[in-house]
Amino acid sequence: MRALFASLVLLIATSCAPDSGGEEIERLEMRLSGWSSLDVVIDAGGNGTYKDSEPYPDGTRGGFKLARAELLELLAKLQPYHEQAVSFSEESAMRFIMRACPKGVPNVTDAGAFYVRWQSADDDVHYLADFGCDHERLADRNGELRDIVEGLPIPSVP
């Protein structure tokens, strides 16, 4: 799982961010990982694409459309995590990949993770939640992040 997540973050780190003329989010990328990984990309117009890695190796992929109100609601749900996000760079992406649960904190391996990246003309930040690190104390947060993804109009989610 770490290798799959690492490859996504490195792929994003080496890709070019789209040019945007406004201050609203131009691109929102999310990944919900676990035994499978669901990658979601949504643009400023609410046009979304998804790819679920299961059933391996083909997975399912498709598109969806969020109305403006739905997109704003999604961004509002993500706002607390946006406030905790760090500026995107290859260095910060590597820190996410290499980050380990602090010594003495309960950790479950392969519990999955949630990753989100917000991109606009003036903002490029990302956030990672490792569901296995301090999983009991952070169960509400982890459930909320899963619910955000499961609330998208995607026929199959992990």
Helix axes 139-150, 68-82, angle to 10 degrees: 160
List pLDDT tens digits, range 91-102: 878 887 777 778
Res. 157: pLDDT tops 60: no
First to last CA, the chain: 14
Helix axes 90-98, 2-14, angle to 10 degrees: 180
pTM of the model: 0.78
Domain coordinates in residue numbering, the chain: 2-16+25-150
List pLDDT tens digits, range 33-66: 988 899 999 999 999 999 998 877 678 899 999 9
Strand 47-52 versus strand 60-65 pairing type: antiparallel
| Least confident residue range of 4-8, 54-58, 73-77, 137-141 | 4-8
Res. 22: pLDDT tops 80: no
Among the listed residues 66, 36, 58, 37, the one whose alpha carbon sits nearest the alpha carbon of residue 151: 66
What secondary structure does DSSP assign to 103-114, as a single string?
TTS-B-TT--EE
Res. 158: pLDDT tops 70: no
